[in-house]
Each structure stands twice: as structure tokens, then as C-alpha cells.
Structure 1
Amino acid sequence: MGILYDDAVLIRVSEEEEEPSVITVNCWDKTGLGCDLCRVILFFGLTVVRTVNSLHVCPFDHVVEDMSTDGKWCYIVFWVLGKPSTRWSLLKNRLMEACPSCSLASVILSEEADAKPSNVFLLKFFCHDRKGLLHDVTEVLCELELIIKKVKISMTPDGKVMDLFFITDTRELLHTKKRKDDTYNHLRAVLGDSMISCEIEMVGPEIMNSSQGPSFLSDAITEDMFYVETPDEHQNSTVAFKSPSITIDNSLSPGHTLVQIVCQDHKGLLFDVMRTFKDYNIQISYGRFTKKEKSECELDLFIMQADGKKIFDPSKQKSLCSRLRVELSRPLRVALINRGPDTELLVANPVELSGKGRPLVFYDITLALKLLDKGIFLADIGRYIIGDREWEIYRVLLDEGDNASVSKTTIEETVWRMLMSWEL
């Protein structure tokens, strides 16, 4: 293995593609650090693998081997399976950015920088339509680390498409000519002669808000997708999700509450657990995540509240277990709705209290539809307050003239499996 860096983040890249590489994070701790690191790993499409007392390649998803902290300093080790295209140096930079700096003043400045909203840019391009166009564009934007905040797509009767992407730049360079030209050239390389025009400009919140799609969801949709919170009451109509087992024990540690989870594996599993604890302002002092047979995982997490105490309150324990059970059995919501003669695909992505949502959801949706050879007539991404939570809703109006032989059940199942990284 070759060591790329020797700072707060150490990456040892495996010389064999089928063998895992090792990422070690050794830095100041903060509440929600595990969530932030897992989001970066998920964004880069890495698969983390581990088994008890030995290390071998597992075919599945995100697992952290060890994490420990004394409340001030944190140590985490990930074993990850990358791809030939994995940009390890860039991954290291992004993980470093998620780590608190090594002085209190730097931590305060970092937190203030995190609170400052990123500039929003409008990417507008006009081109001839073709199969898989939307996914190909989405893939380019992801590779360039451009985050899609909203998208509006419309087609003209003569087979052309106008795409409006409201994006932010992870690198904060999209205001420069060089970054704009780089984005344009990458899009041109993918779209070729089908591209007619392409423009990038900074926009204010009033422009983005004016492009907002429908500000409401029907009662039937909200009742079915959001308000049924007990996993046993609602299973995905096409793919069953095994309900997780969650137990809380205060007898095994003098200073920490132990949360034990046994659940079905899926893409972003660790992220779903970590963002839940982050929203509850709970700190994880030690954790171990173990992959069992094929698709089952075990987590042992020693946690404490923000005041440094165990969780003794039965109501708090029940609330935490209930939220974890929902997040691990319904991490995303998928539904196919009839709109008269048309069919609309809806995918709901829960948003953290910090305002961030799960990465690459739109990428997976468009990839699944591309594999099914299903055209997209309109698409919209919006945020909605439903109940006591904010959701990022992806609404995709399917082109029923394309490959109409694909059943709605097949569409829903394919999208769901792609989002969960289950075998298609």
C-alpha cells in the first residue's frame, strides 16, 4: 500500500483493485463529525467493508471498523473499496475539510464558514434531446463537485430540451472564468454536437425561489409517504425492508449509553445512523460496525448527551429508537403516482437540521431510468416542510411514449434498488 498523506487524514491505497484501502481520521472531535465524514465517503461512491476479527472483501456497503473519542479527540478507521477512477487526493482534501482544525480559534472560524451559505449559480443549457441525457449531465456535475440544489427541465415540440440547474460549487470557484470554462468543456465533451448553448451565471435567492415548482403535495401522497412512521405499518410496495432491531443498555458502561443495532445493509446505512445522532445532538464516544452474513450489519455505539450524561429518560430512549428504526427501514421514500395519462416518480430525501440532504440521490434516480430506457419529460427538485421535518422532494414526470412496456412496479423497484445499492 502507498501512503498519500500523513496529517489528520491518512489514506493507504491498495495496490490491488479488489482489496480495500484504509482511511484513518485522527483529529479534534465535534458532534456530528461521523455524519460529515460519512457524507463525503458516500459522495465519492466508496464502499466500506469489514468483518469481525478479520479483514476481507465484502460485496456491500458502508461500514466503519472502529471509532473512538474522548470528547476532544477522535480516531476513526475506514476500510474502503474504491474504483479505478477514485480521486484519492481530492477525497483526502474533502475529508480534511470536514475535520475541525487543531485550535479553538480555527474551530470557531470553521463553524462560522460552515454557517455561511454558498453562492447559487444557474447553469442553463439548450440542446437536442437524447436517451440518458439528464443522467449524463448529472454525472458530469457530480464529477466536478457541483451540488444540484434544484433542476427544471422542459422539452419543446421539436425534440429539444431546456435544462436549468441551480447549483453550488464545493470548491467555491464557479465565479471564475476558468471554472466556468472547465464546466462548459466537460459538458461539451459529453453532449457533443447536441449542445446548442450553455450559460452559467450567479443568481440571487429571488431567482431560485421564482423557479419553485408546485408548493404543495396532495394529501394522499403525504399520508402514504410521510406520516406512516412505523416500519411494520408500511413496507415498500415492491421491495421488503427488514425491520431493524434496536436496543439500549445503560448497565455496561459507567459513563455511556450503549445502543445496539442489527439491521439490513443498504447504501448510506452508516450515514443514516450518524445523521440521526447528529440531529439529536448526541456524541458517539466509541463505535464498531460489523458486517455479518451477506446483507446484515451489527452496530455497537457508546453514546452520551450533549451534557456528557447517559440517556436515562425512557421517553428520550423511545424517541431515539423510534427515529433510528424509521431511518433504517425507510431511509428514502419512493412512490409512483398517476397524473391522468402521465406517471410521476417521487423520491423523498430527509434533510438534516443543518440543511444538508443525502448526496447523489438525483444521480441514482437518473441512472436507474437510463438503464430502463425511460425518458424524462419534466423534473423538479424542491424542499417541503412536512410534519416537523424538512424533505428534499425529487419529482420526475416520465415520458410515457418511451419504452411504455416497462411496468410501474419495475420502475419503482429499479429506482429503489439503485438508491439502496442492491442488486438489480
Structure 2
Amino acid sequence: MPTPDGRVLDLFFITDCLELLHTKQRRDDICEHLMAALGEYCITCELKLPGPEYEGLQGNSSLPPALADELFSYQLKDEEAYPKALTRNMRTVKKTSITVDNSLSPVHTVLQIQCVDRKALFYDIMRTSKDCNIQVAYGRFSSPVKGFRNLDLFIQQTNGKKIVDPEVQVALCARLKEEMVHPLRVIVANRGPETELLVANPVELSGKGRPLVFYDVTLALKQLGASIFAAEIVRHSTSICQWEIYRFLLDDSLEFPLASKQNRSNIVERVRRTLMGW
């Protein structure tokens, strides 16, 4: 958040995989690494446990219904509908096929997948498999050919058995395809007189969000010359899952006017392409 004297104050709520944030040594080490990475741009760094005054900043979001509908309205089965959350790349990405085969292994169901190659593809496949209580015993994949990749996954249910129920097979393939084709939601919307960029991704069962989203989005905006006035990360629950939503309040400028429909479209396109590694 910018301050009147030209400085910027960034506030982050973080978790520690080592669970050592309560120790002074761990907090000092983190601050030292941050200051070393930021160099002369970092004036000071302080790490402390949040008090009760911050509780209101860490809860679920209350997105306006119209905004939530626009952000989460995409339906994979509708081959003709392309809402604002999608870009022209999605017509290529939709060329994804998943075949279930129980004859190739005596103890595993084999998923044969052909899809467009992109960043975090394996992450989304493994995340979705875990969410569906599917164990991946073995996998093999080919090098990308003309932007497409072939994968074979040898999977089982948590009880160690194959997936033989046709309804379960269909549900698993549909869920995997949706997460492979459209793992993120990206839109630009109005927040009163201001312009806001929203990027949403599903939260893992462990409670963790998608890695590197904040980095990729800020990089894309920097490349476009779009400035960020403020940013926050919130959680939003739908009937399907919990989502992590990155909300960026953008700063209008003469160099990059946000009233331009072309500039707003460019933001969605560049952010999505950066997140997908295209």
C-alpha cells in the first residue's frame, strides 16, 4: 500500500512449513533473506505473530453475487459459451482427451491423457487426483510434440482397487479435464469507480493455495506497465470447493488507461498466459 511520503508498505499473512515462526531465530532468518533479496529497495522488515486486530483481514471474502457469478460461471460442457473469464487460447486448450483403460494393468486403472502442455500441468493433475481420493502409483509422459503432451497414469482407489464403476470413471475424467483445461479464473471488473483484477484458483485439501500466483500476476502487470495500488489474498467458498482469490486494485495512469477495453483485455490475456506458461 503506497504511503504519502512515496514509500510502500506491504503486509503479508504467511505460514511456515517448519512451524517455527514463534521462535525469534526463525523470524530473524526470514527477514534477513527478504532484505538480501530486495536489497536497497527494502527499508525495513518486521515479522510478528498477528494479534486479534487482524482477525477481520483473514476470513472468507464477501464477493458481490454478480462478481462471483462472472468469476465462477464457466461450464466445461458448454462448448460454445466463452465468458469473460476465458481467452482465445482456451479453444486450443479444450483439445484434451482422457481415456480409461482397465486392461493394461492387472492391479491399476490406466488413464491415457492427451492435452496441451503448460506450466503446472502435473501439479493440477496430482492436486485433482488427491481431491478425488485417487492414488497415483506410477506415471509416464512424453516430451511435448507441437505443444501437446501424452501421459499415462496408473491409478487406484484408496482401498487399492481399480476404478471399475462407469459413473466414477466419468466423474473423475470430467473433473480432471476441467482442472486441466481451466484451473484458474481471471477477470477484470469494476470496484465502484476503481478497476480490479481478480485471479482465483482452487485451494488444496491441505489448505494451501497454488504456488507462484502472486509472482506471475505481478510480473505480467509489470510487463504491461499496469500499476498496482493495493492487493489482498482472500478465500471464497462455493458449492464445489474453496477458492483462493487474489484481488489487485489497479492504479489508473495516462500511460495505461484502464478505461480502455483493449487494455483490460490485454491484462486478462497477459496474466493468463503468464500463469499458464505460454
CA distance in 1, matches of 2:32, 2:178: 43
1:328 aligns with 2:175: no
Q: How many residue pairs align between the two structures?
A: 267
CA distance in 1, matches of 2:60, 2:159: 42
Cα–Cα, structure 1 residues 279 and 188, in superposed 2: closer, same or farther, change >3 Å? closer
CA distance in 2, matches of 1:214, 1:378: 18
Q: Which amino acid letter does the alignment assign opposite residue 347 of structure 1?
A: V
CA distance in 1, matches of 2:103, 2:28: 60
Q: Show structure 1 runs of 5+ residues with no match.
A: 1-153
CA distance in 2, matches of 1:417, 1:366: 13
CA distance in 2, matches of 1:388, 1:250: 28
User: What is the match of residue 66 of structure 2?
Assistant: 220
User: What is the match of residue 69 of structure 1?
Assistant: none
Contact 2:60 2:237 in 1 (8 A): no
Identity %: 52
Contact 1:257 1:303 in 2 (8 A): yes
Contact 1:289 1:300 in 2 (8 A): yes
CA distance in 1, matches of 2:32, 2:205: 36
User: What is the match of residue 239 of structure 1?
Assistant: 89
Cα–Cα, structure 1 residues 155 and 260, in superposed 2: closer, same or farther, change >3 Å? same
Q: Which amino acid letter does the alignment assign opposite residue 346 of structure 1?
A: L
TM-score (norm 1): 0.58
CA distance in 2, matches of 1:209, 1:310: 45
Cα–Cα, structure 1 residues 283 and 194, in superposed 2: closer, same or farther, change >3 Å? closer
Cα–Cα, structure 1 residues 214 and 313, in superposed 2: closer, same or farther, change >3 Å? closer
Q: 1:379 aligns with which of 231, 241, 244?
A: 231
1:360 aligns with 2:216: no
TM-score (norm 2): 0.86
Offset of residue 208 of structure 1? 4.4
Cα–Cα, structure 1 residues 208 and 251, in superposed 2: closer, same or farther, change >3 Å? farther
* SS of residue paired to 1:200: coil
1:254 aligns with 2:106: yes
CA distance in 1, matches of 2:61, 2:153: 39
CA distance in 1, matches of 2:272, 2:172: 26
CA distance in 1, matches of 2:157, 2:59: 39
> Deviations along 1:234-259, whole A, 9 cap, x unmatched?
37135325211111122333322221
User: What is the match of residue 147 of structure 2?
Assistant: 295
Q: Show structure 2 runs of 5+ residues with no match.
A: none
CA distance in 2, matches of 1:169, 1:402: 41
Cα–Cα, structure 1 residues 188 and 270, in superposed 2: closer, same or farther, change >3 Å? closer
Alignment of 1:8-157 (within 5 A): 154-157=1-4
Offset of residue 214 of structure 1? 7.5
CA distance in 1, matches of 2:42, 2:55: 29
Offset of residue 194 of structure 1? 6.0
CA distance in 1, matches of 2:138, 2:42: 53
User: What is the match of residue 277 of structure 2?
Assistant: 421
Contact 1:375 1:402 in 2 (8 A): no
Q: Which amino acid letter does the alignment assign opposite residue 398 of structure 1?
A: L
CA distance in 2, matches of 1:338, 1:238: 22
Offset of residue 312 of structure 1? 1.7
Contact 2:101 2:110 in 1 (8 A): yes
Q: Which amino acid letter does the alignment assign opposite residue 242 of structure 1?
A: V
CA distance in 1, matches of 2:13, 2:119: 26
Q: Which amino acid letter does the alignment assign opposite residue 353 of structure 1?
A: L
Q: 1:183 aligns with which of 9, 13, 30?
A: 30
Q: Which amino acid letter does the alignment assign opposite residue 161 of structure 2?
A: K
Q: 2:40 aligns with which of 174, 185, 192?
A: 192
Offset of residue 364 of structure 1? 0.8
* SS of residue paired to 1:292: coil
RMSD: 2.4
* SS of residue paired to 1:159: coil
Structure having the higher strand fraction is 1
Contact 1:213 1:380 in 2 (8 A): no
CA distance in 1, matches of 2:158, 2:241: 22
* SS of residue paired to 2:63: coil
